[in-house]
Amino acid sequence: MNTKKYGPWALITGASSGIGKAFAEKTASAGFNLVIVARNENKLNQLTSSLEKQFNISARVVVANLTNHDDIINVLQFTEDLEVGLLINNAGREDSNDFLSVTSEEHINTIDLNVKAPLQLIHHFGSKMVTRKRGGIINMSSIVAFQGVPYISNYAATKSYNLIFSEGISAEFSKHNIDVLAVTPGFTATDLASVYDFEGTPFKPLEPSFVATEALKALGKKRVVIPGGVNKFLFSSGKFLFSRKLNTKSFGMVFKKVLRKTL
């Protein structure tokens, strides 16, 4: 994974914390200049200053709420003069509760951020990559993408979209020398996991740096990567041993347990 293969600039959404911040650190260490996008301007500025000093790279900050169409347009306009060769769609949101306890507006915001924003960014930057005949795209999916999951039904569905969409465009873009990867981690120590209570469960959240490292290692070698041994086991057992109905039931039991303070 290097700038010669993909291009000099990487754009990372949701870069102010968690996996997005880890992606920013890893790509900067590999020599990429960065466009980092998130809502928290202070965190973005602090990260930019740190990475520019540590790795002698250039970085641009874009403060944006990617559920807002105008903010997405601002991202596209702000990067018009750059050769963005690596696009990492990391920003995401999760509504954890009984489906009807979450407003329809919140569910739609989840679709806007998890589905519509990556689609628009890929359409824009992907067209430029096709012209240049090189590029890389990473989309964050999830281990919950492989079946329906109670209590995060809408979120799991958006992650299924990320997975299937990535596989499809990977096949389309491969002839243009563009690598596309879907990353399907399980529980990870990010802001999204703040509502979970893992006491009394066998689950230990993955570290964001581990997920980012596994993703960048897999880019160009795989179309889907599943970070973590437990997640690989869950995928394999769900694919070869259990029915889809049983998978949904078992995942629902897990989320009912870790969300017991919310439900």
End-to-end CA distance of the chain: 42
How big is the chain by its Cα radius of gyration, in Å?
Answer: 18
Q: Are strands 84-89 and 59-63 parallel, antiparallel or unpaired?
A: unpaired
What distance in Å separates the CA atoms of residue 183 and residue 194, rounded to the nearest whole number? Answer: 21
Spot the catalytic one: 6, 151, 155, 161: 155
Sign of the dihedral through C-alpha 68, 119, 61, 77: negative
Concerning whether 6 is annotated as a catalytic residue, the answer is: no
What distance in Å separates the CA atoms of residue 136 and residue 120, rounded to the nearest whole number? Answer: 16
DSSP assignment letter at 205? P
Question: Is the separation of the CB atoms in 81 and 240 below 8 Å?
Answer: no
What residues are labeled active site? 155
